[in-house]
Every structure is written in structure tokens, then in C-alpha cells.
Structure 1
Amino acid sequence: MILAHGVGSRTDLPVPRALALYGAGLAVIVSFLTLLLLWREPKLRGAAGGRTAAGTPRKTHDQR
């Protein structure tokens, strides 16, 4: 049983499990398609747009 956020604690969903999973998958697909269609330009420009991840050595990113 998974206890994070109450997932797995109830087995009597008001909808069939397959329908709930299809709905969740559809929500993810729709959200990414919306981002793809509506977010056409980068939001970070200049130095802020090219920062490496925190704690990651820059040397590993520059190797080719």
C-alpha cells in the first residue's frame, strides 16, 4: 500500500480504475499539447537561460 498523498488507501473508486487511468493520462497529454501550442518563445533569456543545474560541475557539460 502506498501512503503518499493517500494514494492506495482506498480501493472503492466511484469510477472504474481503467477510466481513472485513461483520464489521468489524457490530462497529462492535453497539458503538454497545450504547452507545445501556446508556449512558442523561451521565457529565460541571456545568462538566466543558460545556467547549469545546481551542484553540477560545468566541466561535465562542456565535454564533447
Structure 2
Amino acid sequence: MIKLGSLCICDDCNNAMFTGVFIGALNRIYCDNCYPLWYERATFYEEDVPFENKATNRLINQVNS
């Protein structure tokens, strides 16, 4: 995230983080502590896959540019 210009902030606890998990369907990122808690209550929706892929690819392209 530093490559994009700043530290990343967890969308759940609002703490700065160096590693985390991006959820493309929600366009959100969670720290390693918050992600497992989110995952426990998450529901997978097949119809979100195209949006998730688009959001994830956009982030990957930003990081790689």
C-alpha cells in the first residue's frame, strides 16, 4: 500500500497496517486481526464474482504500475 502513496487503514478497526486482505466484492481491506472475524460472518454471493474480479484487478494494476 505504501507503493500507492500511503499506509493502508483497516476498514474495520481503522488501524494502520502493512499486511491485510482485500475483499474485492466490498472494495474493502481488513487487517490480519479483523479479517477472520469478518470471514466468520461473511456470505458468498455468486453474482458478486464479476464485480470482485474487476475491483481486485484494478487494485493489482495500481500496485503494479
Provide the TM-score with structure 1 as the length reference: 0.30
Q: Name the one with the larger helix percent.
A: 1
Structure of greater Rg: 1
Q: Name the one with the larger strand percent.
A: 2
Higher normalized contact order (CA 8 Å, seq sep 6+, divided by chain length): 2
Provide the TM-score with structure 2 as the length reference: 0.29
